[in-house]
Amino acid sequence: MNQNVSAKRYDDMEYRRCGKSGLKLPAVSLGLWHNFGHVNMLENSKNLIYTAFNNGITHFDLANNYGPPPGSAEENFGKILHDDFKAYRDEMIISSKAGYTMWDGPYGDWGSKKYLVSSLDQSLKRMKLDYVDIFYHHRPDPETPLEETMNTLSLMVQQGKALYVGISNYQAEDAAKAIKILKDNGTPCLIHQPKYSMFERWVEGGLLDILGDNGVGCIPFSPLAQGMLTDKYLHGIPADSRVATSGIFLKESNLTPERLQKISKLNDVAQSRGQKLAHMALSWILKDKRITSVLIGASKPEQIIDSILSLKNTQFSTDEIKLIDEILG
């Protein structure tokens, strides 16, 4: 066994049942969207995986195009898994997705059977796996019939290439249709992965109700709104921040005076709760029992440990919720 793997890794993590399935996920899961590609240090990526696993994070979330460059996050994760965690594969939930552009031509994008089958086969080779635990359709395809896409997800389960299937970025109406097709196929939709944070609350307009009513789990991504829901930008833009270093996913123009005022007021609420703003932002999502897990990203091991602290207080008083809603407007 690996001497670097902690015997106490399950002591402090909370595990939540995923909808009405037999699967439980850690309340905090690690997304490998950035910081795991070929442009990153493999040793740092390995440290992130160790830190997560040693603190009870068993779920590692990938997609075919994660990197950069696309595919490299899966390659690097596969190498780390093969070299360090082979004996622990059955303690891990590994997910991947397809739905965004992965390769040139008409068969490397969206939701056709041709693309999804090819993409999962490639993902399995990159990660040196026989199967993934969860395979998602990454975004709705406006041109491919929904039946074709969902029937392909069912096929992946029937072929043993995925244990469970899910959807991501689906609005409420399309999610309901997808869930019904999968249920009729005998391969129920396990989970939905939407964008959800204090600043982006569209899932409250019907989607969460649909998931709850159908016994489907929910695992929000971008819960800290690309870092805006932290105390990082309260006193200017740090030199090592996402805004300063890339400016692709979070731009300086997002940090308007009005937005910064809201962040400052939310920070005051967090401090009154004995939390950092980032902790409160995660706790605020996890307060809803329909939420199975929340996806975090990390570039440093201490960020993972810090995020887990949000689990210490996921209870909110009526007054706190009212105050937060007033701040958010």
State pLDDT tens for residues 158-186.
Answer: 999 999 999 999 999 999 999 999 999 99
CB of 123 closer than 8 Å to CB of 133: no
- Residue 156: CATH number of its domain: 3.20.20.100
Q: How far apart are CA 211 and CA 209, in angstroms?
A: 5
Average pLDDT over residues 123-138: 98
The pair of three-digit structure tokens given for residue 27, joined into one six-digit string: 């309340």
Q: Report the domain count for the chain.
A: 1
State pLDDT tens for residues 65-99.
Answer: 999 999 999 999 999 999 999 999 999 999 999 99
Establish if 321 belongs to a structural domain. Answer: no
Establish if 8 belongs to a structural domain. Answer: no
The pair of three-digit structure tokens given for residue 233, joined into one six-digit string: 């930008």
DSSP code for 227? G
Left if phi > 0, otherwise alpha if psi is -120 to 50, otherwise beta: which for 247? left
The pair of three-digit structure tokens given for residue 148, joined into one six-digit string: 């074709």
Instruction: Report pLDDT for 247.
Output: 54
Instruction: Report pLDDT for 253.
Output: 74
Residue type, 19: G
Give the other-Cβ count within 10 Å of 317's Cβ: 9
Q: How far apart are CA 178 and CA 190, in angstroms?
A: 11
> Given a cut of 80, is residue 25 above it in pLDDT?
yes
Q: How far is CA 286 from CA 10, 20, 298, 301, 310, in A?
A: 19, 17, 19, 22, 9
State pLDDT tens for residues 218-255.
Answer: 999 999 999 999 998 887 665 565 654 555 566 777 78
Three-point CA angle 265, 271, 275, nearest 5°: 120
Establish if 9 belongs to a structural domain. Answer: no
| Helix (H/G/I), strand (E/B), else coil: 192 | strand
Instruction: Report pLDDT for 224.
Output: 96
Instruction: Report pLDDT for 11.
Output: 97
CB of 52 closer than 8 Å to CB of 306: no
What's the gap between Cα 103 and its chain centre?
23
CB of 70 closer than 8 Å to CB of 64: yes
Q: What residue numbers bound the domain in which 297 lies?
A: 15-228+276-316
Looking at the chain, the whole-number percentage of residues with pLDDT higher than 70 is 95
CB of 219 closer than 8 Å to CB of 293: yes
Establish if 267 belongs to a structural domain. Answer: no
Establish if 177 belongs to a structural domain. Answer: yes
Phi and psi of 232, rounded to 5°? -60, -35
Establish if 174 belongs to a structural domain. Answer: yes
Pairing of strands 28-31, 294-296: parallel
Establish if 280 belongs to a structural domain. Answer: yes
| Helix (H/G/I), strand (E/B), else coil: 92 | coil
Give the other-Cβ count within 10 Å of 44's Cβ: 14
Establish if 268 belongs to a structural domain. Answer: no
